[in-house]
Structure 1
Amino acid sequence: MAAIFHWGTGPEATGTATHGTGSPIWLKRLIISLWHSNLFFVGVSAVGTVFLAINYVAYAGWSVVIKRISEAFSVWLVPGGVIMLVVFLLGRHDIFHWTQEGVMTKGAANYDPIIAAKGGFLSGPFYIFRMVSYLTIWAAFSWKLRKLSLEEDLHGGTRYFHTSVTMSAGFLVLYAVTSSMSGWDWVMSVDVHWFSTLFGWYVFSSWWVSGIAGITLTAIFLKQNGYLRMLNANHLHDLGKLIFGFSIFWTYLWFSQFMLIWYANLPEEAVYFNQRLGGFNGQYTGLFFLNIVINFVFPFLALMTRDAKRQMIILKIVCIAILVGHWIDFYLMLMPGTMRGENGFLIEIGVAAIFLGAFLLLMTRRLAGALLIPVNHPFVEESVHHTT
């Protein structure tokens, strides 16, 4: 196992590399923190629509009582998309090495042939086009499904439900492609020399389990404050099973990526984990192991029994831990490749708190804009009387 701590010999591996963008350290940290937290909340917001769409195409009845929560989660897609575009335009040189002048120009002092070979994909206009396309697709389908849901409340009938099923099927096909590509663009291209064939799914799994935890936590708070009386222990049990199962799924992807790269020990792949395991004087090593404990070991042990999945207090603690843990997961994906050894937490936590407050403000306003229970949904009675 000693090989884990000795991958690579270049400046990227030892933590001596610098970006040379000219920005002060505090400003670089602020820009990267804005990208980091906004990226996390955009992904969680999109999961609200993904969860809604999956339940539509599966003709699932149990989840109808929490349907409005998943609809409300998508509210951050538009403001988050605008913030992402602005941060990229203003701070791209501090986040992405491939955007720097001359890096793809043969003969330039900082020319990099590996990055230049990826120039067809990693070009500014094409990157922005992809970013806008992903976010537009996610936001457009979220808006349409919300609109159909509200019209169903007003007029009843099954027409709106069947239209929603068709829309959801189309959305899931597009999301399966765009979510993986967004992981390449928004996260993996930070470490532009590095690559992983399952990284897109890894990013999605982190978003997905965070989104389910967020929906569960919101449902519990509403229940405890008297707003969601129809939510019962059976709904909590199903949500707990999803959190339990997909925490294991995230770990499976994490371990598969790590194990194959460690076993092959190829420098162009191994540098990613070398930076996080002992690189930069071990600044990320503790977080690397905390990431596994908080996102796998703790949820696995806490939710192992049936009774635990039906207890609101246990679910609340686990959901909060998962949300914090996967924010840390994204921190580990981004900081070693951007800030190197000059990372910190004060600015990052402050920015995350601002984003959390803004997200909760918009999400609760949307929740208040419609009935919490979609009274004319065909499966509403099934959901109210759901048992497991």
Structure 2
Amino acid sequence: MTETFDFSAAVKKPLIMAAIAGLVCLIIGVASGVMGGGHHEAAHDDHAPKVEHAAGHDAHAEAAHGDAHATGGHHEEFSWTKRVWTSLWHNGVFFLGIAAAGILFFAVQYAAQAGWSAPVQRIPLAMGNWLPIGGGIIIVLFTVFNHDLFHWTHDYLYEKGTPTYDAILDGKRSFLNVPFFIGRMVAYVALWTVMFFQLKKNALAEDENGGDQYWFRGRKLSAIYIILFAVTGVTASWDWLMSIDPHWFSTLYGWYVIASWWVTGLAFICMTVVLLKENGYLKEVNANHIHDLGKYVFAFSVFWTYLWFSQFLLIYYANIPEETIYFVERLQTGPYKALFFINILINFIFPFLFLMTRDSKRHGIFLKIACPAVIFGHWIDFYLMVAPGILKGNGGLTFIDLGFFLIFGVAFIWVFLTNLAKSPLVALNHPMMEEAKHHHI
């Protein structure tokens, strides 16, 4: 008997309520911004060569205390509207990456010839339906508000002989320029979306026709997607996140971002499986499948921490001002200092201790606590990648950020559940299904 998900009114109601709550938070945040004043000078501009190429403690102290620095005397104004564009960018990139990570999980299972995951593979596949929507959002957002989001887009930085000229950014101009940047964005989103639709088409054809040929084709398509995402996921993180701080760079950054997207996607998949199972779906799924998903969340929380610590330790140990300024901003600037430590607490210490035991990874009551915490924790992680470089000392989580998190989250889940309900919840003719039914660990 074909098992299908019913996206009923009972399921839609809490989502609608969450969306309304997000809208209320957004209205409160915008109203606070309007009443709090219009424009004032940015707390500091760390992109100025004066800061980044100063030697020793003085450069760190100036950046940490939010002194107003401007390239050659150019002062940038801060407006509350900048919080809106920053939050839109933060949430747009975050949820787009979760969708791409869902397809990566689906592809990894096929490429590895994994049998245990056959009953849950339609869940990560349905996450990919957000790709064209989320991709379209960030493309439009960058096209319209690039000057508010990315320092390197300002023309005055490239006028030689003027006080505002920035030789470092001029040297990167062949890569960091608006037309090429938009072209890369379109290419990334298009590649991920095309590969997703090919994988989805193949999976649905397997449902209708059966036969091993679809499984073998799925393996080939999955291998292609994994390679493409390994390259474009890294370069997308350079573009969409690292270039927010265009004088700073880290060779580990791309893998760090992918790890954050990946573990967030795993947490979303695990939480969805648990909730569906508790509501009478996924009859072929047992505690052993849930245990494996819990192990994924546990293991890659540790892997994310390994990358975080590797990047931090090398920069800390080398103590080069051009590199350490990135962490100085996040450790010594008031709006971000607490979030810096909360990030480590939620994304490593909590899941490491909470999911360490075998039972905690096999029972929904534990995973329904751990998975949402990991998702929210990595949302904070992405906030720390985005906000300090754009908002400087004017950052800090506000009702605007919370509102957009709820609105984007509801939109993502709505698209996900709508498409999950359109096809069989469990693959009908997957050749590994019989093996999955007897999965035991």
TM over 0.5: yes
Tell me the distance in 2 between the aligned counterparts of 1:7 and 1:23. Answer: 24
Deviation at 1:121, TM superposition (A): 0.6
Deviation at 1:316, TM superposition (A): 1.1
Deviation at 1:231, TM superposition (A): 1.5
Tell me the distance in 1 between the aligned counterparts of 2:63 and 2:267. Answer: 35
Tell me the distance in 2 between the aligned counterparts of 1:360 and 1:169. Answer: 27
* 8 Å Cα contact 1:8-1:274 kept in structure 2: no
1:92–1:210: structure 2 CA closer, same or farther, 3 Å change rule? same
Q: What does residue 212 of structure 2 align with?
A: 158
* 8 Å Cα contact 2:90-2:382 kept in structure 1: yes
Tell me the distance in 2 between the aligned counterparts of 1:201 and 1:85. Answer: 22
Deviation at 1:242, TM superposition (A): 0.8
| Letter paired with 1:113 | A
Deviation at 1:91, TM superposition (A): 0.9
Tell me the distance in 2 between the aligned counterparts of 1:385 and 1:336. Answer: 49
1:133–1:385: structure 2 CA closer, same or farther, 3 Å change rule? same
Residue 395 of structure 2, aligned match among 319, 343, 349: 343
**Do residues 27 (structure 1) and 78 (structure 2) align?**
no
Q: What does residue 236 of structure 2 align with?
A: 182
1:274–1:7: structure 2 CA closer, same or farther, 3 Å change rule? farther
Deviation at 1:23, TM superposition (A): 6.8
Tell me the distance in 2 between the aligned counterparts of 1:46 and 1:78. Answer: 11
Deviation at 1:156, TM superposition (A): 0.4
**Do residues 121 (structure 1) and 193 (structure 2) align?**
no
Tell me the distance in 2 between the aligned counterparts of 1:266 and 1:340. Answer: 20
1:114–1:24: structure 2 CA closer, same or farther, 3 Å change rule? closer
| Letter paired with 2:366 | I
* 8 Å Cα contact 1:152-1:377 kept in structure 2: yes
* 8 Å Cα contact 1:303-1:309 kept in structure 2: yes
- Equivalent residues, number: 382
Residue 296 of structure 1, aligned match among 343, 348, 355: 348
Deviation at 1:13, TM superposition (A): 4.1
* 8 Å Cα contact 2:107-2:223 kept in structure 1: yes
Q: What does residue 287 of structure 1 align with?
A: 339
* 8 Å Cα contact 1:43-1:207 kept in structure 2: yes
Q: What does residue 370 of structure 1 align with?
A: 423
Q: What does residue 25 of structure 2 align with?
A: none
Deviation at 1:24, TM superposition (A): 5.8
Cα deviation digits, residues 52-88 of structure 1 (max 9, x gap): 1111010001111111001101111101111001100
Residue 15 of structure 1, aligned match among 57, 66, 71: 66
Residue 330 of structure 1, aligned match among 379, 382, 388: 382
* 8 Å Cα contact 2:115-2:432 kept in structure 1: yes
* 8 Å Cα contact 1:105-1:116 kept in structure 2: no
Deviation at 1:16, TM superposition (A): 2.8
TM-score by length of 2: 0.84
Cα RMSD (Å) of the superposition?
A: 1.6
* 8 Å Cα contact 1:236-1:309 kept in structure 2: yes
Deviation at 1:9, TM superposition (A): 3.7
Deviation at 1:213, TM superposition (A): 0.2
1:10–1:304: structure 2 CA closer, same or farther, 3 Å change rule? closer
| Letter paired with 1:332 | L
Residue 130 of structure 1, aligned match among 158, 168, 184: 184
Larger radius of gyration: 2
Tell me the distance in 2 between the aligned counterparts of 1:323 and 1:334. Answer: 17
Tell me the distance in 1 between the aligned counterparts of 2:414 and 2:275. Answer: 15
Bigger mean CA offset, 244-253 vs 378-387: 378-387
- Where do 1:220-235 residues align within 5 Å? 220-235=274-289
Deviation at 1:384, TM superposition (A): 2.1
Q: What does residue 269 of structure 1 align with?
A: 323
1:258–1:249: structure 2 CA closer, same or farther, 3 Å change rule? same
Unaligned runs of 5+ in 1: none
- Where do 1:312-327 residues align within 5 Å? 312-327=364-379
Cα deviation digits, residues 220-259 of structure 1 (max 9, x gap): 1111111222221101110111111100100000001100
| Letter paired with 2:274 | I
Deviation at 1:14, TM superposition (A): 3.2
Q: What does residue 205 of structure 1 align with?
A: 259
1:25–1:47: structure 2 CA closer, same or farther, 3 Å change rule? same
| Percent of aligned positions that are identical | 50
* 8 Å Cα contact 1:335-1:343 kept in structure 2: yes
Residue 44 of structure 1, aligned match among 76, 98, 102: 98
* 8 Å Cα contact 2:132-2:193 kept in structure 1: yes
Tell me the distance in 2 between the aligned counterparts of 1:160 and 1:7. Answer: 62
Bigger mean CA offset, 143-152 vs 96-105: 96-105
| Letter paired with 1:68 | R
| Letter paired with 1:252 | Y
Tell me the distance in 2 between the aligned counterparts of 1:66 and 1:25. Answer: 46
1:369–1:18: structure 2 CA closer, same or farther, 3 Å change rule? farther
Tell me the distance in 2 between the aligned counterparts of 1:192 and 1:368. Answer: 43
TM-score by length of 1: 0.95
* 8 Å Cα contact 2:336-2:395 kept in structure 1: no
Deviation at 1:210, TM superposition (A): 0.1
What SS is found at the alignment partner of 1:103?
helix
| Letter paired with 2:350 | F
**Do residues 356 (structure 1) and 397 (structure 2) align?**
no
Cα deviation digits, residues 97-144 of structure 1 (max 9, x gap): 000122122123421111111111101111111111111111111110
**Do residues 112 (structure 1) and 163 (structure 2) align?**
no
1:6–1:277: structure 2 CA closer, same or farther, 3 Å change rule? farther
Q: What does residue 382 of structure 1 align with?
A: 435
Tell me the distance in 2 between the aligned counterparts of 1:94 and 1:109. Answer: 21
* 8 Å Cα contact 2:335-2:394 kept in structure 1: no
